């Protein structure tokens, strides 16, 4: 690493005081960037991720354009699934589509194990390329959490209500927990390989776990999440948890052996603190606000920053991901505002 390495994000993740609030954006790599759209005209997501030089370019582009304090590896939560026998294709306008969905315990038992160096070497090569040669900010690796992965594997694709997933969970608990075990082990192995390759932090996306109530989360999901984070703690990198529409689970996440609780826009930071969340928090501007006039964006961002800076341990992010209609110049301007405003406040 060069002497100019920016570790502000890592300090905040550990709950330390920083000179400014660090910022990165979920889905910052791609989608709204014209350079990425030009690449997507030639290659699919999976094709991009299989080319380390190209994938590294897409990953570092928002850091170079917006001056963000962290990069997140460009890939999809589906990336490790083919290695264990899941036939998945990411279809434009639809999302992941799985042609061999899980329907029984026998289907679960057919699933294999992941061997990252053999199965996803391109992911590890991209990480090495970024962390050894290109980035001056931390690289965040990531993985999908077992519930969210299972929801795609059981539904066969995206779902609005997860009826098949929940019914499988309730009706076939033995098969369900066997699936959680398989996905839990895959996640641990996959994530550890990312850290070994050079990732400086890890975010676990349980995007759709908000579909469950607290009682079901504690019984059906929390044990495997505890096992995952307990195993990853050994890697000594910050661990982040995030889900959408899951404010009712924030305290459950806080109880896990992780470092950062990600919040979507539904739960204000001051309310999360009042509930007893003392760990670092990350969030939580509603991404839809990025289409509003700048005055509105600034006002909303300032209010979130004021709440976040009330105590050390805060990382600015969106409450979910950047979407294609967002102007990259808006993200650049927002990043500059976050840095300048927070630095002026924290220096007092």
Q: In what order do the strands lie in the sheet with 280-285?
A: 71-72, 139-144, 201-205, 239-242, 260-262, 280-285, 314-318
Other CB atoms within a 10 A radius of the CB of residue 111 amount to: 19
Q: What is the CA radius of gyration of the chain?
A: 19
d(CA 253, CA 247) in angstroms, rounded, equals 10
- The pairing of strands 201-205 and 139-144 is parallel
Flag whether 28 is marked binding.
yes
Flag whether 201 is marked binding.
no
Whether residue 199 is preceded by a cis peptide bond, meaning omega within 30 degrees of 0, is: no
Phi, psi of 285 (to 5 degrees): -70, 130
* Helix pair angle (173-197, 222-232), 10° resolution: 20
Contact 300, 318 (CB under 8 A): no
d(CA 343, CA 18) in angstroms, rounded, equals 9
Flag whether 27 is marked binding.
yes
Phi, psi of 272 (to 5 degrees): -60, -40
Flag whether 46 is marked binding.
yes
d(CA 289, CA 149) in angstroms, rounded, equals 29
Q: How far is CA 16 from CA 44, 163, 231, 292, in A?
A: 40, 42, 24, 33
Flag whether 207 is marked binding.
yes
Contact 124, 193 (CB under 8 A): yes
Flag whether 103 is marked binding.
no
Flag whether 60 is marked binding.
no
Identify the bridge partners of residue 285 per DSSP, sorted by sequence position: 318
Identify the bridge partners of residue 71 per DSSP, sorted by sequence position: 139
Query: Which residues fall in the annotated binding site for substrate?
Result: 27-31, 46, 76, 152, 207, 320
Query: Which residues fall in the annotated binding site?
Result: 27-31, 46, 76, 152, 207, 320
């Amino acid at each position: 690493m060069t002497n100019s390495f920016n570790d502000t994000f890592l300090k905040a993740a550990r709950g330390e005081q920083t000179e400014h609030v660090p910022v990165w954006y979920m889905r910052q790599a791609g989608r709204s960037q014209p350079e990425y759209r030009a690449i997507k005209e030639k290659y699919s997501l999976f094709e991009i991720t299989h080319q380390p030089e190209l994938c590294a370019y897409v990953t570092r582009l928002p850091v170079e354009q917006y001056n963000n304090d962290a990069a997140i590896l460009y890939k999809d939560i589906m990336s490790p699934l083919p290695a264990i026998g899941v036939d998945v294709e990411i279809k434009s306008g639809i999302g992941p589509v799985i042609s061999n969905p899980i329907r029984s315990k026998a289907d679960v038992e057919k699933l294999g194990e992941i061997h990252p160096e053999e199965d996803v070497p391109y992911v590890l090569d991209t990480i090495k390329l970024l962390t050894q040669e290109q980035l001056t900010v931390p690289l965040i690796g990531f993985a999908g959490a077992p519930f969210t992965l299972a929801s795609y594997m059981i539904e066969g694709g995206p779902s609005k209500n997860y009826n098949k997933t929940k019914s499988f969970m309730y009706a076939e608990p033995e098969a369900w927990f066997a699936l959680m075990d398989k996905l839990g082990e895959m996640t641990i192995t996959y994530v550890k390989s990312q850290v070994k390759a050079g990732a400086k932090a890890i975010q676990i996306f349980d995007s759709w776990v908000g579909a469950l109530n607290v009682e079901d989360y504690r019984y059906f999901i929390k044990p495997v999440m505890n096992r995952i984070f307990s195993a990853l703690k050994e890697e000594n990198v910050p661990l982040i948890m995030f889900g959408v529409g899951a404010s009712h689970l924030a305290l459950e996440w806080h109880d896990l052996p992780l470092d950062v609780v990600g919040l979507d826009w539904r739960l204000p930071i001051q309310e999360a603190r009042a509930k007893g969340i003392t760990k670092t928090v990350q969030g939580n501007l509603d991404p839809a606000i990025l289409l509003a006039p700048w005055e509105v964006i600034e006002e909303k961002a300032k209010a979130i920053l004021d709440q976040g800076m009330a105590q050390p341990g805060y990382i600015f992010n969106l409450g979910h991901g950047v979407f294609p209609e967002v102007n990259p110049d808006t993200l650049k301007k927002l990043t500059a505002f976050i840095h300048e405003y927070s630095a002026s406040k924290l220096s007092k």
